[in-house]
């Protein structure tokens, strides 16, 4: 008989007093007002916590007592068994080129800075506030605010880009280093626009706390630290150091008080798997799977019966010899036990796939497909075995690219089709809606210049997307010269720009529901075997009703492409896509990155390509910034027409920008003039 029990270590609907202590036996359960659940634990005994990163130091010199992460030296405000940790993170102040200590390096720990709950915030004006991470110190985010001396003493209206700016950061960051850079060498020496110079500071902060607890964002100048949310997971921990896989009688499953705890009744054996571990008893035959997300799956797997049968058969064989009949009995028992094992394993696999399907948004996808609100073509739900076979078990040699959202592999389906298989990174429930949104949005689109989705797989630990294979990389790689085999000619640049514009015109007005892409950039434009443009990555896109003109959302996008008007108002319109497309036009014209270091400056001063381009046109220096190949192949009339169109797209007032229909018409006319010439 097989029994399945499933419960969460803690449930959102449970009241605090309904939950028993979830620290290890004989270990302290609280430090001051903060509950300390396992895998966290208070030293000095190492048996109370999983390993060093989870050790809590309780400072008894204060009242109430304060808990600290000993390894990271961060004060702990709250620990959630659901996978979040609220800590105090330092504010980085900048004085005359010097800066106070940065946020701690969490590389190699089970902790990540939460993208969902935190916002990067900078209080300054006329400076770029940048965030660097990873080993190569590359810029992963940032923002810039304008100067307004009158707003400094006026009633606070929030951090909306005047003397203060906010933005989100990529997910899965364990190292964050903030930096404040001047917009240009001249501006760094100007005193009139630097009235906030004594108070230049930047920090990562929990968004709700910042909104609800500060009457004025300038109040942070008197604080050493602010609350920040870290995400923790056993799948990020060093699974070889789990105490429960070393000590007997330690595999305990804690639940709500009416469930109590499950004791394995004897010595246990533990085995690790990706994202958790399994504990089982050779005495009772009870096994439990512990997942890093907080799920516990328990069952009887029949090992006790197998041991008893083996022992009995061995006694009979010793007494009666090696008769053929007993040998057949032994083989029959062995086959029976093996068959039972296979059945239980199959049921266990099915159950795990059902859990993954629900956790990965399968029910949400089914609801979207059955709601009738979207004109969605049939989406194929692939089996995990089919995708494993198509990618040679996700072999590293099949990797096409890696990004913040996941890894893309090249695969071949059983019918011979070559596909791109996008395996997402482990995400929280807040990110699953973006994944399902991408599936639904792409399923509505049928356009030659938009990547076509083929289906998805939700029965694996992380969700997987399958879409058509586009062989020739991203437009960004060609603009930056990373692909040397093919250099973009002026004619190719105009054609690619026309194709992108046509796809956006289709999304804005020709699709069944108007769709805002919300993350147009050169790295999201793919080139097929004939170097035709394909718009990709619809994870943050939104479809709207035909009578709507805008979306009101949290700011989401890529630094350098973000519409300033959207950044100030949180209102995303079709003209916000037009602004981002204007930046792509300038990239094609100049060959520069959207954020780049100014050549010839003594320091590494960064500037926005859009701002640099507009300034160059106003100062009649257009041909000083145009790419060398464009200057060689394009006529002055064509280059000026292309540049004027880009300038119109980058107008700071969205109402004055052209629609994508007008942009498409201008580019098509430019193509026709090229052919006639």
Task: Indicate which residues carry an active-site annotation.
Answer: 519
**Can you list the alpha helix ranges (DSSP code H) found in 274-361?**
303-320, 324-359
Most distant pair of Cα atoms in the chain: their distance: 105
Which tokens is 416 given? 């011979």
**Rounded to an integer, what distance in angstroms lies between the CA atom of residue 326 and that of residue 316?**
8
CA–CA separation, 46 and 265 (whole Å): 24
- Phi, psi at 638, each rounded to 5°: -65, -45
Give the count of alpha carbons within 13 A of 385, CB side only.
Answer: 3
Write the DSSP string, 365-410. Answer: HHHHHHHSSS-PPPPEE--HHHHHHHTTTT-GGGEEEE-SSEEEEE
* Close Cβ partners of 380 (under 8 Å, ≥ 6 residues apart): 454, 455, 456, 466
How far is 508 from 581, CA to CA, in rounded Å?
13
Cα 401 from chain centroid? 15
Q: At what angle do helices 636-649 and 609-618 cross, to 10 degrees?
A: 120
From residue 168, alpha-carbon distances to 114, 121, 130, 436, 577 in Å are 10, 9, 12, 21, 19
Helix (H, G, I), strand (E, B) or coil at 180: strand
Local structure of 223: helix, strand or coil: coil
Q: Please, where are the H alpha helices in 532-677?
A: 564-569, 574-590, 609-618, 622-625, 628-633, 636-649, 660-676
At residue 209's C-alpha, the angle toward residues 429 and 106, to 5°, is 65
φ and ψ of 313, to 5 deg: -65, -40
Q: Do 143 and 162 meet the contact criterion of CB atoms below 8 Å apart?
A: no
Q: What are phi and psi of 128, to 5 degrees?
A: -85, 125
Decide: residue 414, CB within 10 A, 0-12 exposed, 13-18 middle, 19+ buried.
Answer: exposed
Q: In sequence order, which residues have a C-beta less than 8 Å from that of residue 227 and are 6 or more positions away?
A: 77, 86, 87, 88, 89, 205, 206, 209
* DSSP H/E element including 151: helix 149-153
- Helix, strand or coil for residue 202? strand
What percent helix, strand, coil does the chain show, rounded to 5?
35, 25, 40
C-alpha to C-alpha distance for 485 and 491, rounded to whole angstroms: 17
Closest CA to 518 of 563, 467, 569, 585: 563
Q: The dihedral of CA 311, 316, 321, 325: what is its sign?
A: negative
């Amino acid at each position: 008989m097989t029994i399945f029990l499933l419960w969460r270590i803690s449930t959102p609907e449970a009241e605090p007093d309904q939950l028993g202590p979830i620290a290890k036996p004989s270990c302290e359960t609280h430090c001051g007002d903060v509950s300390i659940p396992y895998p966290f634990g208070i030293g000095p005994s190492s048996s109370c916590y999983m390993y060093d990163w989870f050790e809590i130091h309780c400072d008894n010199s204060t009242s109430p007592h304060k808990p600290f992460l000993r390894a990271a030296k961060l004060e702990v405000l709250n620990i959630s068994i659901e996978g979040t940790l609220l800590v105090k993170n330092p504010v980085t102040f900048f004085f005359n080129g010097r800066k106070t200590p940065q946020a701690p390096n969490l590389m190699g720990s089970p902790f990540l800075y939460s993208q969902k709950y935190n916002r990067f915030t900078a209080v300054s004006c006329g400076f770029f506030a940048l965030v660097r991470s990873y080993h190569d110190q590359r810029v992963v985010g940032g923002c810039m605010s304008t100067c307004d001396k009158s707003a400094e003493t006026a009633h606070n209206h929030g951090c909306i880009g005047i003397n203060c700016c906010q933005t989100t950061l990529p997910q899965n960051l364990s190292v964050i280093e903030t930096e404040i850079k001047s917009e240009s060498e001249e501006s760094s020496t100007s005193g009139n626009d630097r009235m906030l110079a004594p108070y230049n500071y930047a920090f990562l902060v929990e968004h709700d706390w910042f909104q609800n607890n500060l009457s004025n964002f300038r109040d942070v100048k008197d604080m050493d630290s602010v609350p920040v949310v870290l995400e923790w997971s056993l799948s990020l921990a060093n699974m070889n150091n789990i105490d429960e896989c070393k000590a007997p009688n330690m595999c305990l499953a804690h639940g709500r008080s009416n469930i109590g705890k499950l004791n394995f009744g004897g010595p246990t054996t533990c085995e690790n798997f990706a994202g958790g571990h399994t504990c089982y008893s050779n005495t009772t035959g009870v096994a439990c799977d512990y997942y890093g997300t907080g799920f516990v799956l328990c069952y009887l797997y029949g090992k006790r019966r197998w041991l008893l049968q083996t022992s009995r058969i061995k006694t009979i064989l010793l007494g009666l010899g090696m008769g053929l009949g007993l040998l057949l009995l032994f083989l029959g028992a062995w086959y029976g036990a093996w068959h039972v094992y296979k059945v239980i394993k199959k049921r266990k696999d099915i159950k795990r796939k059902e859990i993954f399907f629900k956790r990965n948004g399968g029910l949400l996808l089914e609801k979207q497909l059955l709601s009738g609100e979207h004109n969605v073509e049939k989406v194929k739900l692939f089996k995990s075995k089919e995708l494993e076979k198509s990618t040679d078990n996700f072999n590293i040699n099949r990797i096409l690219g890696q990004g913040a959202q996941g890894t893309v592999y090249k695969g071949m389906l059983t019918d011979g089709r070559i596909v791109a298989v996008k395996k997402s990174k482990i995400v929280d429930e807040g990110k699953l809606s973006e994944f399902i949104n991408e599936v639904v949005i792409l399923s509505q689109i049928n356009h030659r210049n938009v990547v076509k989705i083929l289906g998805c797989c939700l029965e694996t630990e992380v969700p997987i997307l399958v879409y058509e294979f586009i062989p020739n990389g991203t437009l960004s790689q060609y603009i930056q010269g990373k692909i040397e085999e093919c250099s973009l000619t002026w004619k190719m640049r105009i054609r690619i720009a026309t194709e992108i514009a046509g796809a956006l015109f289709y999304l804005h007005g020709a699709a069944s529901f108007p769709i805002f892409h919300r993350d147009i950039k050169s790295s999201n434009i793919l080139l097929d075997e004939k170097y035709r443009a394909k718009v990709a990555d619809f994870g943050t896109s939104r479809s709207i009703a035909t009578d709507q003109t805008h979306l009101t959302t949290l700011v989401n996008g890529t630094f350098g492409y973000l519409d300033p008007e959207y950044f100030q108002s949180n209102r995303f319109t079709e003209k916000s896509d037009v602004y981002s497309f204007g930046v792509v036009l300038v990239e094609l014209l100049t060959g520069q990155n959207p954020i780049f270091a100014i050549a010839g400056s003594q320091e590494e001063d960064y500037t926005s390509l859009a701002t640099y381009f507009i300034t160059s046109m106003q100062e009649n220096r257009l041909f000083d910034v145009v790419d060398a190949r464009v200057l060689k192949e394009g006529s002055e009339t064509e280059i000026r027409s292309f540049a004027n169109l880009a300038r119109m797209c980058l107008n700071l007032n969205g109402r004055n920008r052209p629609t994508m229909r007008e942009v498409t018409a201008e580019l098509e006319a430019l193509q026709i003039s090229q052919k006639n010439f």
